[in-house]
Amino acid sequence: MSYWIGAAASSSNPFDSVTSFFKSSTWRFVEYMFVFVLVVIWLSCAYWVYKDARRRIEDKVVIAVAVATGLLFGPAGALIYSIVRPPEYLDDIRERELEMRTMEQRLAEEQRCGFCRAPVRDDFLVCPNCMRRLRSVCTKCGRPVEPTWKICPYCEAQVVDESTMLYNNVYR
Ligand SMILES: [Zn+2]
Ligand SMILES: [Zn+2]
């Protein structure tokens, strides 16, 4: 404001010193600095979007669109991206999927026939598909006994040798 008053007092044309200021090297420097800062902000927005999108998005085209949004709209583009981006990192998703697959595999192994891979329940004595013996029955209490068990955990009776039972069952 004081600048305007000073300009009006010293010169017949009050706009003279104003225009000369805008033509001065100081103003040009301010202009350049402004543009420079703007470019840096724009580029860093696009770079941040690129770095973040690479960790969250698999599709290269979608990443390119996200980076283009960052380049075009700068901070606003980065803000839009941060709203619509996938909430999870790809690494986390992969890790979870791997965990799920391992768990499923373990579950499937526990509930399948060791010979033909047919689904069985853990109290089945014989596989309903290949008819091979999965477990024997305790001679004393009649409960299913795993082939690896040496003693019945329910009644403490000695488990009969499994190999002869399996042989008899398969070649019966
Ligand atoms: Zn089977
Ligand atoms: Zn028993």
DSSP string, 150-168: SB-TTT-PBPPPHHHHHHH
Q: Which residue has the tokens 């000073």?
A: 6
Judging by DSSP bridges, how do beta strands 136-137 and 144-145 pair with one another? antiparallel
25 CA → ligand 1 middle, Å: 89
154 CA → ligand 2 middle, Å: 5
56 CA → ligand 1 middle, Å: 44
pLDDT of residue 79: 94
Q: Say which ligand is closest to the CA of 149.
A: 2
Q: Is the pLDDT of residue 125 over 80?
A: yes
Q: Is the pLDDT of residue 68 over 50?
A: yes
Q: Say which ligand is closest to the CA of 116.
A: 1
pLDDT of residue 171: 44
User: For the residues 101-106, what does the mean pLDDT come to?
Assistant: 86
132 CA → ligand 2 middle, Å: 21
Q: Are 104 and 122 in contact (CB under 8 A)?
A: no
Q: In the beta sheet, which residues pair with residue 151?
A: 158
101 CA → ligand 1 middle, Å: 23
pLDDT of residue 39: 94
Q: Is the pLDDT of residue 172 over 50?
A: no
Q: Where are the beta strands (DSSP E) in 45-163?
A: 136-137, 144-145
**Whole-angstrom distance, CA of residue 117 vs CA of residue 43:** 57
Q: Say which ligand is closest to the CA of 142.
A: 2
pLDDT digits (tens, 9 = 90+) for 14-56: 778 888 877 788 888 999 999 999 999 999 999 999 999 999 9
Paired tokens of 60: 């290269």
**Whole-angstrom distance, CA of residue 163 vs CA of residue 130:** 17
DSSP classification of residue 126: B
Q: Are 136 and 162 in contact (CB under 8 A)?
A: yes
pLDDT digits (tens, 9 = 90+) for 70-79: 999 999 999 9
126 CA → ligand 1 middle, Å: 8
132 CA → ligand 1 middle, Å: 6
Q: What is the mean pLDDT of the chain?
A: 83
**Whole-angstrom distance, CA of residue 7 vs CA of residue 119:** 94
40 CA → ligand 1 middle, Å: 67
Q: Is the pLDDT of residue 160 over 50?
A: yes
139 CA → ligand 2 middle, Å: 7
